[in-house]
Each structure stands twice: as C-alpha cells, then as structure tokens.
Amino acid sequence: MDLVSILWNGLAAFLTLCIFSILYKDNPFYKLAEHLVVGVSAGYFAIILYYNSFLPKVWVPVFHEHKFYYLIPTILGVLMWTRFSRKWSWVSRYPIAAYMGIGMGVAIPLTMQAFIIVPLHATMQPMGFTSLSLFNNLLVALGVLCALIYFFFSKEHTGAFGGAATIGIWILMIGFGAGFGLTVMGRVSLLIERFTFLRDYFQQLIGLL
Amino acid sequence: MGFYERLMTLDRRVVYLAMALAVAIPLFIPFGVPIYVTREVKSVYDFVESLEEGDRLLLAIDYDPNAMAELHPMALTISRQCFAKGVKLFFVTLSQNAPGMCEQLVSKLSKEFNKKNGVDYVYFGYKPYPGLVILSMGQNFRISFPMDYYGTYVDSMPIMQGIRNYDDMKAVIAFEAGWVADSWIRDANGRYKIPVALGVTGVMAADYFPYVQSKQIFGLMGGLKGASEYETLAKQEERIASRGMKVQTITHIVVILFIIVGNIGFFMSKKKKI
C-alpha cells in the first residue's frame, strides 16, 4: 500500500468511525462526517451533471454541431429555475406542464401494462393439487384474492368475507416478515462491508509498521 | 423494576454493542457456511453461461456507494464471467453517484482481462431521468449517449458498428438500489420486450419476486445472499459476498435471540400485570 492509499483509506476509516460514533451519542465528529457527505455528494453530482449532461446534450450540439433545435429543451429547462422567484415563478408552470404531460403520456399506459395487467395475468394460471407448480399457482391466486379482500372496506368483514380478509392479513404479515428479514440482511451487509474494510486497513497498517 | 421490565427497556447501546461484536468476531475466525443456490439466481447464471463469444449484453450499474456491499460483488462476478467468455459488454449507469464507481469497475476488469475500450466493451456513462433514458435506448443508444463516459463519439467505436438499440442486445442485467428497477421492467421489458434480470439490495428483493413469477424478469439476485449464490455457481477466485455470509449467519442468530428475549419480556410482563 503506497502513502497516498494509506492517507485516503485512513481518511475513509476515520470518517467511518465518526459515523459509527452516533450510536453512542451525538457529537461533533458525527456532525463533521454528516456535513461532509452532503457537501461532497452535491459537488460530485454537479460535476457529473456538467460533464455527462450539459456538455454532450447542450454545449456540443448547439455550439459545435449547430443543432439549434436543442435550444428549445434548454430554454424550457432554464425556465424551471424561475420557480425560485416570487415574481416570475408562474413562468415555470409551462416547462413543468410539458414535463408532466410527456411523463404521464409515457408512463401511464406502460405502468398499467407492466404493474397491473401482466401481474394480474400471472395469477390466472393452471391450478391444482397434483403438482408443486400447480399448487403454487393456487396459493398465489388465493393469496392475491384474500389480500385484496382485506382492503375492501365497503363491506363489513364478517362471515366468509371476514374469514377471507383474515387470511389476507396473514398473507400480508408473512410478506412483511419476509421483507423485514431481507431488510435486516441488507443492513447487516453494509455493516459487514464497513467492518471488513476497517479490518483490512488496520491489518495492512500494522503490517507496514 | 422487575427482570422482565428490564428486558423490555434494555438500553439500545447494548444491542448495538452485541451486533458490533457479532459482526467483528467472525471476521477473524476462519469458518464457512453452506450456500444453497435458488432457482432465481440460477436462471441468471444459466443465461450468462449460455452466451457465446461476440454476444452483446447491457449491464446497468445503477447503485450508489451505499449499496456497494451487496451489489458490487454480483456486478464484478457477472462482468468477469462475461469477459472470460468473450461477451461484449455495454455499461450504463443511471444513478448520479455511480459513474466513478462504475468507471473503477470497468477499468479494473479491462486491465485484468486485457480488454480494449471501444472494441470489447463500452461505458456509456450517466444521464439523468432514468425512465426517459431507458426508453430512448430502445430507439437508439445514440439519442442519450452520443458520446461515451470519456467523451469519445460512440460512432467512432468498432463495438458500436451496426448496434442501434435493445434489439441488438441479448438481455439487460440491471443492478439496482432504488426505483429505477421499476423503469427497467416497465420501459425496457414492457415496451421493448428485451429480457431483463435484476440484482437488487436485500431490502428490495421481497418486492421483486412477483416479477419473476409473472416472467417480466428472467432472474433475480437479492442482496448479499444472491451475490454469494452467484459466486458459488461461477466458482471464481474472488468471493467477496461468500466471505460475508458466515458473518450474516451469526448476526441473524443474534437478531433472532434479541427478538425472542424481547417477546419473552413482553408476554411475561403482560402476564404479571394481569
């Protein structure tokens, strides 16, 4: 490990420990690391946006390739900034309207197709008890039906309807439990990566000394 | 205060300390845990293994450094597998904090496998508004990416000759830590019917299993476990995720013990009040 790597990794290790210090109580080291991450992220994003968006999509097409129609979306984008002026904020409604119109026109049909119609079709599969996949399809269809019944509040949850709603709650709870378990795994993974980094860094440092 | 009330009001710093020890101690003890491969991860592996030299694959590195622990191992393993087979890789990133990280991955692997930028792979870089970028790539990659990350015109690259849009790709494998996964399903697979596989964080995995069942994605790798399963199948030398699974096992046991202790405290203190 060369000196530059030692210093940069040392800074990363120091900031990691600063963040962990919040677990004991709030302190200036944690505040330093927190403010640093916000500032560095904002600065990094600004530079990325400049080199990856502004230069190839505005500067080069307009000033080098003379594709002046790129000025139309550029002006619409600049007009968005009038939002910050009390006097001129009404101007920003036009680019926002264009953006929302295009976004909704693109998103609504595809969202209906991808997140409602296709998953609904996936519940209408051959069902039965003769094989595992048929039984799985039956469980999926019943689970979806009972969970949806639980959220139907226009009828009182009594009798058979109430029974189905109760099964729906259990289905939802099983889903939440699986989600919680996966969330624990996800958060612990981040902790493992940080501890592994700290272990490797201090082992290398001790080895050098 | 009774014993059970004390269990219920345990200082959270005791829990933090227990978790820290549960993570730190196994890192210094060499032992392994068995890793069982699930069908969803095997689907992704089998697909990549079926690719031949010259096939083209789009890899979307859409995660920030805060999700690196879970997603970087799977991105590394799949990229290595593809480069070893001679598959042409097209990297794109739709997350604003990912470009530098993706560039590190691409540089590292290109040196490891002696691959040339513009010939064996291309790194398009980052553009904002993921939904619109994904839709535009279905028309033509050049709409959103006239130049690559390094500022080179993509038309000047041999790898981009004859390449127009998703029709020229075998599939998209997207590594996601946020809602961009929905865009890949809705826009890329829904609109352009390109096969999509996802590598997601553990937190998101439960939400995306239904899309495997509905065949909108052909495979799903969830969190560190998904990454370790893929590493087990790929049998590569570097196994970052697999080494973390032994620590996962210990910490999960600790979490389960705390849940049991908390519940005992709850029910016994409730019983005492009655």
pLDDT in tens, A181-199: 999 999 999 999 999 999 9
A118–B contact, CB cutoff 8 A: yes
Which parts of chain A fold into alpha helices (H)? 3-20, 28-49, 71-79, 93-112, 118-122, 132-150, 159-208
Copy the structure tokens of residue A100: 């929302």
* Whether the predicted pLDDT of B274 surpasses 70: no
pLDDT in tens, A147-158: 999 999 998 989
Q: Find the closest chain B residue to A110 by CA distance.
A: B186
Q: What is the DSSP string of chain B?
A: --HHHHHHT--HHHHHHHHHHHHHHHHTS------PPPHHHHHHHHHHHH--TT-EEEEEEE--GGGHHHHHHHHHHHHHHHHHHT-EEEEEE-STT-HHHHHHHHHHHHHHHT--BTTTEEEEEE-S-HHHHHHHHHH-HHHH-SB-TTS-BGGGSGGGTT--SGGG-SEEEEEESSTHHHHIIIIIIHHH---EEEEE-HHHHHHHHHHHHTTSSSEEEEHHHHHHHHHHHHT-S--HHHHHHHHHHHHHHHHHHHHHHHHHHHHHHHHHH-
Per the CB < 8 Å rule, is B100 touching A44?
A: yes
**Under-70 pLDDT residues of chain A:** 1
Domain that holds residue A197: 127-209
Per the CB < 8 Å rule, is A178 touching B24?
A: no
Q: How many CB pairs under 8 A join A and B?
A: 138
pLDDT for A1: 67
- The side-by-side arrangement of strands in the sheet containing B88-93 is B121-126, B88-93, B56-62, B171-176, B196-200, B219-222
In a domain, A209, yes or no: yes
Q: Find the closest chain B residue to A48 by CA distance.
A: B96
| End-to-end Cα spacing for chain A | 12
Q: pTM value?
A: 0.88
pLDDT for B221: 96
B window 35-64, beta carbon within 8 A of A: none
Domain count, chain A: 1
pLDDT in tens, B52-104: 999 999 999 999 888 999 999 999 999 999 999 999 999 999 998 889 889 99
Copy the structure tokens of residue B80: 């290595």
In a domain, A171, yes or no: yes
Of A23, A60, A182, the CB nearest to B206: A182
Indicate the angle between helix axes B223-234 and A159-208, nearest 10 degrees. 70
pLDDT for B1: 62
In a domain, A12, yes or no: no
In a domain, A170, yes or no: yes
User: What's the CA gap between B89 and B207, in Å, rounded?
Assistant: 28
Of A51, A182, A192, the CB nearest to B69: A192
Q: Which residues are registered as beta bridge partners of B147?
A: B153
Closest CA to B201 of B72, B44, B80: B72
Identify whether the C-beta of residue B113 lies closer than 8 Å to the C-beta of residue B79: no
In a domain, A26, yes or no: no
B96–A contact, CB cutoff 8 A: yes
In a domain, A153, yes or no: yes
pLDDT for A125: 87
In a domain, A177, yes or no: yes
In a domain, A166, yes or no: yes
Per the CB < 8 Å rule, is B205 touching A182?
A: yes
pLDDT in tens, B155-191: 999 999 999 999 999 999 999 999 999 999 999 999 9
| Average pLDDT across chain B, whole number | 92
B147–A contact, CB cutoff 8 A: yes
pLDDT in tens, B212-247: 999 999 999 999 999 999 999 999 888 888 889 999
pLDDT band, very low/low/confident/very high, at B32 (cuts 50, 70, 90): confident
Q: What percent of chain B has pLDDT over 70?
A: 99
ipTM for the predicted complex: 0.84
